Amino acid sequence: MRVLFIGDVVGRPGLEFTEKVLARRLPDWQPDLVVANGENASASGRGLSPRVAEQLYEAGVELLTLGNHAWDQRELVEYIDTDARIVRPANFPPGTPGRGYTVCPVNGKSVLIINVMGRTFLSQLDCPFRAVDEILDGHRDVQHVIVDMHAETTSEKLAMGWHLDGRVSAVIGTHTHVQTADERILPRGTAMITDVGMVGPRNGILGMDRSRILRKMLTQMPERFAVAEGPCQFCAVLIDLHEQTGKAVAIERVCIYEDS
């Protein structure tokens, strides 16, 4: 079973480049499941609107994960309970709208997708490690499990990888928007990458307009950030999972640059 996991899609340019790359490359890659982190996919780069989710589904994405920007588009708060394809961090407080995991049928097997958010420099949520453990306890019959660990630090994401080694198929880091070159399969069969990267304008800063970010950093005055323009990059990983055991067989980084 092959899973394509796409990093944080940023703004309209990220959405359009996702559409373009998937239209061109899906026939070669032939994934059985396509997952993307959608927390920055709305036009403003903040949050996910139901309309943009729909556009990502049309482009070939089947499941969407979120992160710290989950609620930046107010419409999603109302909408999220109606769409089982969208997963928000599982360690949000009890009673939060939406779901922290979803089970999706793929090739006659069940695939469990879990989203959790780290705490270091990012949040004061409940423990992400215990949140995943609890979900896994309730799904002992599911072999194919993908965890989107949305976190700021490499250490916390690596810790999640080692915590889950042999218990899930893959731990994919998101949130920093910069792809790391440390993809590997841990000894007990869990594929891991600290950060999968983003789909968005590559000459901005993490997909946002660099002049505004620079101005804020240089002056320390408030600035309204906006999505950058110009050529994009598409960052993802292709993960091959053993059909029966769910263990990872291969993980390959994908990074495609749009012509400038």
Interface ranges with Fe ion (CB under 5 A):
8, 39-40, 67-68, 175
- Is the CB of 39 or the CB of 148 nearer to Fe ion? 39
- Is the CB of 11 or the CB of 161 nearer to Fe ion? 11
Report the nearest approach of Fe ion to the CB of residue 149 (Å): 11
Cα dihedral: 125, 129, 131, 137 (round 10): -170
Report the nearest approach of Fe ion to the CB of residue 40 (Å): 5
Neighbour order of strands in the sheet with 109-117: 101-106, 109-117, 144-150, 170-174, 191-193, 184-185
Report the nearest approach of Fe ion to the CB of residue 233 (Å): 14
Q: How many CB atoms lie within 10 A of CB 81?
A: 11
With beta carbons less than 8 A apart as the criterion, state whether 36 and 90 touch. no
- Is the CB of 227 or the CB of 239 nearer to Fe ion? 227
Report the nearest approach of Fe ion to the CB of residue 140 (Å): 30
DSSP per-residue letters across 8-63: EE-HHHHHHHHHHHHHHHHHHH--SEEEEE-TT-STTSSS--HHHHHHHHHHT--E
From the list 69, 163, 175, 177, the catalytic residue is: 69
- Is the CB of 155 or the CB of 244 nearer to Fe ion? 155
175 is catalytic: no
The tokens for 106 are: 């793929």
- C-alpha count within 13 angstroms, C-beta hemisphere, residue 183: 22
The tokens for 122 are: 């990012």
Catalytically annotated residues:
69
